[in-house]
Amino acid sequence: MLKGADDVLMEHEDSASQHGEMTNWDINDIKLPQDVRQIDGFQEWPDSYVKHIYSSEDKNAQRHHSSWAMRNTNNHNSRILKKSCLGVVVCGNDCSTLDGRKIYLRPAICDKARQKQQRKCCPNCSGPLRLLSCRGHGGYPVTNFWRHEGQFIFFQSKGAHDHPRPETKLEAEARRSIQKAQTAFSPSSPRLQRIQEIESLTGAVPTQEALPLLLSKPDAYPLPDNFRGHISKSSRELVLGSCSGWLPYSRTGEDMGSGEV
Least confident of 71-75, 106-110, 213-217: 213-217
Least confident of 71-75, 116-120, 229-233: 229-233
Higher-pLDDT residue of 79 and 194 is 79
Least confident of 11-15, 131-135, 147-151, 168-172: 11-15
Q: Are strands 88-91 and 129-132 parallel, antiparallel or unpaired?
A: antiparallel
Taking CB atoms within 8 Å and a gap of at least 24, the contacts of 171-178 are 171/106, 172/105, 172/106, 175/123
Q: How confident is the model at residue 171 (pLDDT cuts 50, 70, 90)?
A: confident
List Cβ neighbours of 186 (8 Å cut-off, separation of 6 or more). Answer: 192
Superfamily for the 51-182 domain:
GCM domain, large subdomain (2.20.25.670)
Least confident of 139-143, 162-166, 211-215: 211-215
Question: How far apart (Å, rounded) are the C-alpha atoms in residues 176 and 10?
Answer: 55
Q: What is the mean pLDDT of residues 118-136?
A: 93
Higher-pLDDT residue of 182 and 33 is 33
Q: What is the predicted pLDDT for the residue at 230?
A: 47
Taking the domains of the chain in order of start, what are their residue ranges?
Answer: 51-182
| Reported pTM | 0.61
Q: How confident is the model at residue 178 (pLDDT cuts 50, 70, 90)?
A: confident
Q: Hey, which bits of the chain come out as E strands?
A: 50-55, 70-73, 81-85, 88-91, 104-105, 129-132, 143-149, 152-158
Percent of the chain with pLDDT over 70: 61
Question: How far apart (Å, rounded) are the C-alpha atoms in residues 51 and 80?
Answer: 14
Q: What is the predicted pLDDT for the residue at 192?
A: 58
Q: What is the predicted pLDDT for the residue at 76?
A: 82
Least confident of 56-60, 200-204, 212-216: 212-216
Are the beta carbons of 73 and 86 closer than 8 angstroms? Answer: no
Q: What is the mean pLDDT of residues 109-138?
A: 93
Least confident of 12-21, 44-53, 69-78: 12-21
Question: How far apart (Å, rounded) are the C-alpha atoms in residues 60 and 200?
Answer: 53
> Does residue 240 have a pLDDT over 80?
no
Q: What is the pLDDT of residues 62-102, one digit of tens each?
A: 999 999 999 999 878 889 999 999 999 999 999 999 999 99
Q: What is the predicted pLDDT for the residue at 15?
A: 43
SS3 126: coil
Residue 111: how many CB atoms within 10 A of its CB? 10
Question: How far apart (Å, rounded) are the C-alpha atoms in residues 250 and 242?
Answer: 14
Higher-pLDDT residue of 248 and 47 is 47
Residue type, 154: F
